[in-house]
């Protein structure tokens, strides 16, 4: 239905057809539908906000691609209408520690950093998982993207307690890391400390 975003009609009729496929039993159709919905969320988040509950339900599906695409769509919704994604936390936590899919882990991390940036209470809820993921996946291929997400998190409404913990977590790499790890860690510390 969508070829990397090309020719995807952005209307409710198309969205409803994709939702029907996402709720169906055909694995391949669910993957294609979730991919198209993630593109739709990036290009016109207003079209997908009211289907957030369906996207959240899809986080329990077995195929990793469906979950990571739905998490990407939910991340876009989180930036626009945070109240709609509050129930996605548990599903994101499950995908964060998916041993079989780096893409699912990264999408879950992105969602949790967007969710955490909403308000201090969301940051307090998300921070233990974010912190654990930083430790578990340090140096993995997706770690660079995780640090980019963490910069956005540091700029959010995360509260002073989480900011202090974030600076403490990134301090070692900001002084002793190499390459992009050192550069991003230093920038994250500066943002969280209010210096950037």
The secondary structure of 105-162, three-state, reads HHHHHHHHHHHHCCCHHHHHHHHHHHHHHHHHCCCCCCHHHHHHHHHHHHCCCCHHHH
- Over residues 76-86, the pLDDT tens digits come to 999 889 889 99
Residues 109 and 143 in one domain: no
- 32 pLDDT higher than 90: yes
- Rounded mean pLDDT, 73-100: 93
pLDDT tens-digit map of 137-167? 998 999 999 999 999 999 999 999 999 999 9
Last residue of a domain, one of 83, 116, 149: 116
Question: Mean of the pLDDT values across residues 88-96?
Answer: 94
Whole-number mean pLDDT of the chain? 92
Q: How many C-beta atoms surround the C-beta of residue 11 within 10 A?
A: 12
Q: Tell me, yes or no, whether 4 and 63 share the same domain.
A: yes
Q: Which of 66, 100, 116 is the last residue of a domain?
A: 116
Same domain (yes/no): 65, 153: no
Q: Could you tell me the residue range of the domain that residue 144 belongs to?
A: 122-196
Percent of the chain with pLDDT over 70: 94
Counting the structural domains of the chain, the total is 2
Looking at the structure, do residues 135 and 187 belong to the same domain, yes or no? yes
């Amino acid at each position: 239905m969508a070829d990397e975003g090309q020719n995807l009609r952005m209307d409710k009729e198309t969205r409803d057809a994709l939702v029907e496929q996402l709720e169906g039993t055909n694995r391949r159709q669910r993957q294609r539908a979730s991919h198209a919905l993630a593109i739709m969320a990036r290009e016109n988040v207003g079209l997908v906000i009211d289907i957030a509950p369906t996207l959240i339900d899809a986080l329990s599906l077995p195929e990793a691609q469906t979950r990571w695409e739905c998490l990407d769509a939910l991340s876009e919704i989180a930036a626009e209408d945070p109240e709609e994604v509050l129930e996605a936390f548990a599903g994101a936590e499950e995908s964060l520690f998916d041993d079989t899919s780096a893409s699912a882990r990264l999408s879950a991390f992105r969602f949790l950093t967007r969710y955490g940036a909403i308000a201090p209470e969301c940051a307090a809820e998300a921070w233990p998982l974010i912190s654990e993921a930083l430790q578990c996946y340090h140096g993995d291929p997706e770690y660079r993207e995780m640090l980019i997400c963490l910069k956005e998190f540091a700029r959010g409404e995360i509260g002073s307690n989480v900011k202090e913990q974030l600076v403490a977590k990134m301090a070692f790499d900001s002084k002793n890391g190499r390459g992009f790890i050192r550069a991003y860690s230093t920038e994250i510390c500066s943002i969280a400390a209010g210096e950037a």
